[in-house]
Chain A
């Protein structure tokens, strides 16, 4: 991951600033091109972060262990579909 980007929120804020600067329009061409490149990089990072989390359900038990519980999701889906049928 890009070391110049701290986290999702920082990236979003920086992207915001860059767009504003570019829209204001009185910066030299060379600099605005650099900003543009940075902006593209940031938006790619944000998109990636949004899609990165995986679909998972875990249960934290009394002993502090994490157990997979994706069946819960299916169960709720079943409940939903059975409700839909009735």
Chain B
């Protein structure tokens, strides 16, 4: 807080520096304290009085920009606040009379430009800026006022979708709130006249711009809402500048529209102009002409719909009558009265039989059900036992499976060994030589291998084993010498 007071004393300090040159006349009489007198002791009040003179004369009217904080409106109607930037802050006050003229509501965090004078409050040793005017920096005051009102009304629920009422299917009288001098009224009447010659229009003229326009519009909306048979109201005006349209951004207008007992259509300016009235009204039309078309096109729709329904009504009915007629003719052609009578008697007998059958069927069905029930009960009684049995069976099957698997594994092992052994054996077998073209000669009984020609006589029978198959041979002759035989093969390995 003490740093608060550093700033204003800078200038007196500078003045003191010039005290060293007493001959030098002072440039700025207000900025310099009275002639320095050695050991002149001031009271706090005197010092404060001098500071007050200094500050209030120097900063009689200043513009200062900063951020608002600690805004608070007291019951007196004055607002107290702090204006600050990154390096410093200054306390401020704005009196009720000035505050009321603002178009926006000052609030914390807002960057503003303030116009005012610096004043000193002795009892507390504080200085502050007494603010005469405040405007939001950057954002225009109007824009801000718009946003704030919009926010406030939205919070009050005035824009809620469930508040929106549908337009009357067929308006008895169409109310219009606008200026008689503007283009809007003529546009609306033109559209209504062109599309529906029998439209009944009630116009409540009002000023739509300038001082007092908002109040005027408010009164007009209230008045027209009370006219008998007016069941929809168009509120609007033609295009213009934002300032021209401003009345439709005033709270009194918004409240009046919200309070209108019949559905409202806002039609202010052009498509791109958006006003608070648009948010509050039950329907927003981009232009006054469009508003008229909204009212009227519904009437078009209804005409078409009623025509269509009437058409459907008579089509359906006549189709049905045609069908009935055709059926009647067919019946007449097919059956005489007596025949029909006989058939009816037969049918009734048949019905009695059917009924009997049905009865029996139901009985049979019941009996079946009963048997099924008994069976079920029996099952239920043995259920526990069965379940235990089941468990045991499961365990048995599991064990069996494991055993089988073990057996299979060992079997496979043995099988593999066997196959290896056979393979080795086969490689050693003399019979393997047969594959290379050798043959083995046996006696007829196949009990002895014949190694010498002399052991057989012509006429004997021998068997010859080849690589594949055997031959049954008769011996025709032979010689004991081995000359004709091929050179002996090297012994198989």
Contact = CB atoms under 8 A, between A and B. Distances in A.
A26 B317 CA distance: 13
Interface in B312-339: 312-313, 316-317, 320, 324
A50 B193 contact: no
A80 interface: yes
B190 A80 contact: yes
B334 to A, nearest CB: 20
Given A46-B306, A76-B189, A60 B224 contact: yes
A73 B313 contact: no
Contacts of B197: 55
Nearest to B193: A73
B198 A58 contact: no
A1 interface: no
A54 B192 CA distance: 12
Contacts of B201: 56-58
Given A25-B320, A50-B302, A19 B312 contact: yes
Nearest to A45: B306
Nearest to B303: A50
Interface string A19-48: 100110100010011001001100100110
B170 A60 contact: no
B172 A53 contact: yes
A5 interface: no
A56 B200 contact: yes
Contacts of A49: 170
Given A12-B169, A57-B203, A50 B316 contact: no
Given A22-B316, A64-B223, A77-B193, A12 B302 contact: yes
B306 A55 contact: no
A51 interface: yes
A57 B316 CA distance: 42
Given A22-B317, A29-B324, A77-B193, A60 B227 contact: yes
B200 A12 contact: no
A58 B313 contact: no
Contacts of A9: 168-170
B185 interface: yes
Contact of B306 (A15, A56, A69): A15
Contacts of B152: none
Contacts of B186: 72, 75-76, 79
B204 interface: yes
B283 to A, nearest CB: 17
B200 A18 contact: no
Across the A-B interface, the 8 shortest Cβ-Cβ residue pairs: A43-B310, A60-B204, A76-B186, A39-B313, A22-B316, A46-B306, A9-B169, A36-B317
